[in-house]
A = this chain, B = another copy of it.
């Protein structure tokens, strides 16, 4: 019966467990990390663990949510507000790509693990979706805000496509270690997306 931490001490303990989980899931993966280990890392007893979390999966979900909300709040959350809408289409797309880039620099290893589990655990999938979605929504509203310079009809689908392409490129750049220079790849990515989304600039 996971209790809701009311006192400060409790909250602190729960936080410690989440941090420990984040660290260990990242380092060793979900399946290879044991509860005892997590408790030790958090400086907490096994019993306490079950005071705050239903089971190991529950911890994973909360760890991922913490990670996810970091990304969402920290980066995608502000994507709309700070977008350089007055800039060139190239600049706008570059801003979007850079945002994603920042998000993925955060904690590659944990992301890896989340990805590894989202296909089996519905909670995980939901979370992943909400992260992606928040990115997608951000892009959508940016595009909405410069609808007159936009070429494509269905902003929804276009956003999906573009964010998908960006995400994938991030993964292939950060999780696998491709030989191609990252910067060249990102440039091309921006090129592709700009060309797809925006009307050609007059004087180009």
- Please list the residues of chain A having a beta carbon within 8 angstroms of any beta carbon in chain B: 29, 31-32, 112-113, 115-120, 125, 129, 152, 154, 156-158, 160-162, 164-165, 167-169, 172, 175-176, 178, 180, 184-185, 188-189, 191-193, 195-196
Contacts and interface: CB of A to CB of B under 8 A. Distances in A.
- How often does this chain occur in the complex, in copies? 4
Given A116-B120, A157-B184, 11 more contacts: A32-B120, A116-B117, A129-B176, A157-B188, A160-B178, A160-B180, A161-B169, A161-B188, A164-B169, A165-B165, A192-B196
Nearest to A180: B157
Q: Which of A154, A157, A165, A193 has the most CB of B within 10 A?
A: A165
Given A184-B154, A188-B157, A125 B176 contact: yes
Contacts of A162: 192
A137 B180 CA distance: 15
Q: Which of A32, A119, A129, A169 has the most CB of B within 10 A?
A: A119
Contacts of A125: 176
